[in-house]
DNA sequence: AGACAAGCCTGTACGC
DNA sequence: TGCGTACAGGCTTGTC
């Protein structure tokens, strides 16, 4: 299989969210060390990032789409996006970071939190609770029911795959889970939103919940490139259930047809021509 | 050595 | 006109 690259999507971020909350809620940020200013590029003055965090207590961790929102005991929120290759890791205090550790958080305790990101597409920033930077994001897939989904698809001539990945329509789905969802729904990626029958919309609605729900339960997907690891450095296991993503030329687990790969909008689409209409 | 994978933002062009 | 849509480029680096 070609080295499929994958950015952490909803399932991986949700796994991080729950582990971060369990490990760090209640902790007071003692020190913040930024060694890669690109990772905090939204801050014209990188020192303002540190200044707004030191001394703050972590109240909880939420998720909006693929963004992590760390609530603080101030009016600020620490926002983190993993980009393609970002990882958050819990490490022992005093640990030497890896080459690509760009931000380190120290607490009054034995563990630190490191933001590691080789490709630096990810970022962290501090914003106020209104979060204007995230205002464009659409609803979470789990918050969209069948009628809501029908509304999002109606009148749109855009390809289904693109709609699913459009963060302003629904937030949290990336290339990999979009392909798995469309296979589960038996729909081809290039179908237009407005052309779906009510039955097909229902299938898609169910598929979104099933695929993402199971992916969260399995703590996300870790592919051969091992780009995604959880807070403790462990892999997810949803890749064992992948039906199409990264499986070009292999038999479809449902119909036996060969999984095909097409390309649109600069993205790979894996799908089964045999059972996806 | 160079193509490629990814998400997201921006800019541009098009058709209705 | 303006909007929805499509496409391309920039950002980045490890892998093939």
In the 57-96 stretch of chain A, whose C-beta falls under 7 Å of nucleic acid strand C?
84
Q: Are A138 and A156 in contact (CB under 8 A)?
A: no
pLDDT, position A134: 92
Mean pLDDT of A73-84: 94
pLDDT, position A5: 47
Sheet with A123-128, edge to edge strand ranges? A58-64, A67-72, A76-81, A123-128
A107 CA vs B16 C1’ separation (Å): 58
pLDDT, position A4: 42
Secondary element (H or E) of residue A211: helix A198-217
pLDDT in tens, A129-179: 999 899 889 999 999 999 999 999 988 999 999 999 999 999 999 998 999
Nearest-angstrom CA–CA distance, A277 and A274:
8
pLDDT, position A95: 86
Give residue A2's pLDDT band: very low, low, confident or very high (50, 70, 90).
Answer: very low
Which nucleotide in the DNA or RNA is closest to residue A157, CA to C1'? C5
- If one compares A7 and A172, the residue with the highest pLDDT of the two is A172
Residue with tokens 């930077």: A133
> Given a cut of 90, is residue A39 above it in pLDDT?
yes
Residues of A with catalytic function: 8-9, 66, 267
pLDDT, position A1: 29
Which nucleotide in the DNA or RNA is closest to residue A41, CA to C1'? C11
**Residue A105: CA atoms inside 13 Å, Cβ hemisphere, count?**
26
Mean pLDDT of A66-92: 94
Q: Rounded mean pLDDT of chain A?
A: 91
pLDDT, position A225: 67
Which nucleotide in the DNA or RNA is closest to residue A155, CA to C1'? C4
pLDDT in tens, A60-77: 999 999 999 999 999 999
DSSP class per residue in A40-71? GTT-SSHHHHHHTTTTPBEEEEEEETTEEEEE
pLDDT, position A226: 61
pTM confidence score: 0.94
Q: If you measure CA to C1', which residue is closest to nucleotide C5?
A: A158
Judge residue A160's burial from the number of C-beta atoms within 10 Å of its C-beta, 0-12 exposed, 13-18 middle, 19 or more buried: buried
Percent residues over pLDDT 70 in chain A: 96
């Amino acid at each position: 299989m070609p080295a499929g690259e994958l950015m952490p999507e909803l399932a991986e971020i949700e796994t991080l969210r729950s582990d971060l909350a369990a490990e760090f809620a209640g902790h007071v940020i003692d020190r913040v060390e930024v060694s890669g200013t690109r990772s905090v590029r939204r801050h014209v003055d990188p020192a303002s990032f540190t200044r707004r965090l030191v001394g703050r207590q972590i109240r909880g961790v939420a998720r909006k789409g693929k963004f992590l929102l760390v609530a603080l005991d101030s009016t600020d929120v620490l926002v983190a996006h993993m980009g393609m290759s970002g990882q958050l890791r819990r490490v022992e205090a005093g640990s030497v970071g890896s080459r690509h550790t760009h931000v380190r958080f120290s607490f009054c305790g034995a563990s630190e939190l490191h933001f590691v990101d080789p490709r630096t597409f990810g970022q962290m920033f501090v914003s106020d609770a209104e979060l204007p930077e995230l205002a464009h994001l659409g609803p979470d897939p789990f918050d969209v029911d069948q009628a809501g989904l029908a509304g999002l698809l109606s009148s749109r001539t855009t390809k289904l795959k693109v709609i699913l990945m459009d963060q302003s329509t629904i937030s949290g789905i990336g290339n990999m889970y979009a392909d798995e969802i469309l296979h589960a729904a038996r729909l081809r990626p290039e179908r237009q939103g407005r052309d779906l029958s009510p039955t097909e919309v229902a299938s898609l609605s169910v598929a979104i919940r099933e695929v993402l729900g199971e992916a969260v339960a399995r703590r996300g997907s870790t592919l051969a490139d091992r780009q995604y690891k959880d807070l403790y450095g462990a892999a997810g296991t949803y890749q064992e259930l992948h039906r199409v993503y990264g499986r070009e030329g292999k038999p479809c687990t449902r119909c036996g047809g060969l999984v095909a790969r097409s390309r649109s909008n600069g993205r790979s689409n894996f799908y089964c021509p045999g059972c996806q209409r």
